[in-house]
Amino acid sequence: MNWTISALLLAALSAALPACAQLSSSEPVLDVSAMDKTVGPCVDFYTYSCGGWIKKNPIPPDQSNWGTYSKIEDDNRAQLRTILEEAAKATSARDAVTQKIGDYYASCMDEAALDKLGAKPLLPELKRIAGLKSKHDLAEYAATTQFPPSLDGGGTLFTFRSNQDFKDSTQVIAEADQGGLGLPDRDYYLKDDPKSEELRKAYLAHLAKMFGLLGDKPAHAAAEAVTVMRIETALARGQMTRVERRDPPKLYHKMSVEELQKLAPAFGWNTYFTKTGVGSLASPLGTLNVVTPDYFHVLSEQIEKESLADWKTYLRWHATHDAAKDLSAAFVKENFSFYRKTLRGQEELPPRWKRCTNDVDGDLGEALGQAYVAKYFSPEAKQAALKVVQEVEAAMQSEIQALPWMGAATKEQALTKLHAIANKIGYPDTWRDYSALKIVRGDEIGNSQRASWFEFHRWLAKIGKPVDRKEWGMTPPTVNAEYDPQKNDINFPAGVLQPPLFSPFSDAAPNYGDTGATMGHELTHAFDDEGSQFDAQGNLRNWWTEADRKEFEQRAQCVVDQYSGYTIIDDIKINGKLTNGEDLADLGGTLLAYLAWKEDTKDQKLEPLDGLTPEQRFFVAYGQSWCTNERDENKRLRATVDPHSPEKYRANGVVANITEFRAAFHCKPGQPMVRENACRVW
């Protein structure tokens, strides 16, 4: 993902935004003062583009990294704070949506009330866990806990949700997936290098401290920590790696509930599905996708192997972990100490208002989004952004038609997919209805739990129904963008189409180099190593001829090999197989944006500005989109879990493959930014 905006969009956006939100001429997309011209662009383009910025922008203590878009997110969060503080005023004039976001925020901000409660809000859940009579009760507990299964792969025991059927993209089916860990990834439990061992010791200490906050004696808390680590390590051994999960066919195992019960007999699946409301003994759930069968086999083995007492310990930990942010300062600080300070190097806890703003956006994102869009985004801006995306898509069409390595049959399918892509800009056509979600002022943990259950049941209610292709997966204030291969759509929320992501005072080249490349990036995801396995309707289907697929994979492997040679920190290299999709999208997206810019300005006489030619300004803007300072701890974590390459290589790795870059800066063969065997796919 990349971010900023095209010249075609600027006039409409500038006119549409409130005066207070518009930029001054001192906020250009391309900042010459951020450059370091003592470094040659053909030697280290990232430092050439960002060296000045890096020196002037140290990492704030409440951040694990600080980049161009970290600052944008922080500024955007301040805009949301303004909305929420106004909404929190308990007046009779508030409508239902304003009441919900305002009361949620006010409850979260009442830190003094939370400190008085201590661990009390968690006690009912801990009492339920203590009252489990046998391991047969695990299924009912998992289905009715105050903390529903995470939808994104975390949470207790496993993940349960709905998803589009990979082989029938018109329908939604139930889906069970791996989960159950407290550390960020399976590799944290299984790698035997000194740093991993050090982090496991730190995790054990954190577990013991959290049990201590529940009132457990130090020796007992330490023993409980060992129990949790043992169970989670066993579960981790059953999980797929992140690289394996990049291959969609490996994630599709459709089976009946009876087959799942045979696969994992120690867990009562009929009880679980009945209690969650997706099936009953009279009307059972038909089939579901078991994403990771090996995991559920291992989970069942561990349920049989471990004692009920030890499973209670595991459940107590996960309940406490899930509730930590909504409890007293002691829990919040200890949670921060491990997950943000130890794992990411963050020095200070972000102020309460930032955390509460994030919570409202996470739990009531489309309610908050309504107020955000009304204040900071207009229909005119939405239409202007759509026009730019369509320009980049036109460039992709030309590229596909001209590809020398792809045959006519595959080209036809690729163009069909391209033309079927839906473009979602700004915000949904229909806002989500939160009327069934009860928000009570003064009940922070209750609000959080009810919001989680509301979202969980909203997802489960989709099972067996047609896919709603108009639904959004990102909230309107989000500073990000995405491509969904199953819906075959591109999503650009209003939050990523806001100042200072672009400048109405800038020439076109930087705007295309920045946001134009973002749009091209998301479009290229439709044809990356993962997205290319889905067809125009979003079905998992091989639409390639055998020869063309082989040609594609050879070109993708070129990118894997290139990025696998880059060092992140110490002796840690980029996992080029994990980052391949994003690396392909960076490369393809930048090329598409360049072509779209050239087409848009073909009848214009472009002149140098600030000592840079238009072509140079395009590429410098792209380089500056990645200006970042990052803590070492965060680099190590991202090396394991993040499918994006470090920002330095998102700049240097791309331009080193682009002949137009070489021409723009007169780079010569043998220089670091000139790859002898350049990679190119699209």
The residues carrying an active-site annotation are 522, 586
Measured distance CA(279)–CA(260) in Å, rounded:
14
Bridge-based pairing state of the strands 287-290 and 168-177: parallel
Residue 8 identity (one-letter amino acid): L
Are the CB atoms for 178 and 292 separated by under 8 Å?
yes
* Letter string b/e over residues 92-112, b meaning 16 or more CB atoms within 10 A of that residue's CB: eebeebbbbbbbbbbbbbbee
* Letter string b/e over residues 655-682, b meaning 16 or more CB atoms within 10 A of that residue's CB: bbbbeebbebbebeeeeebbbeeebebb
Structure token digits, residue 248: 């969609």
Residues near 215 by Cβ (< 8 Å), separated by ≥ 6?
119
Helix (H) or strand (E) holding 71: helix 68-87
Helix (H) or strand (E) holding 630: strand 628-630
Alpha helices in 461-506 (DSSP H): none
First to last CA, the chain: 17
Torsion of CA 494, 500, 505, 507, to 10 degrees: -80
Are the CB atoms for 479 and 486 separated by under 8 Å?
no
| Residue length of the chain | 682
Measured distance CA(633)–CA(173) in Å, rounded:
39
Measured distance CA(416)–CA(664) in Å, rounded:
34
Measured distance CA(92)–CA(635) in Å, rounded:
49
Measured distance CA(680)–CA(545) in Å, rounded:
20
Helix (H) or strand (E) holding 159: strand 159-165
Are the CB atoms for 538 and 485 separated by under 8 Å?
yes
Q: What is the spatial order of strands in the sheet that 159-165 belongs to?
A: 159-165, 168-177, 287-290, 254-256
Measured distance CA(238)–CA(66) in Å, rounded:
35
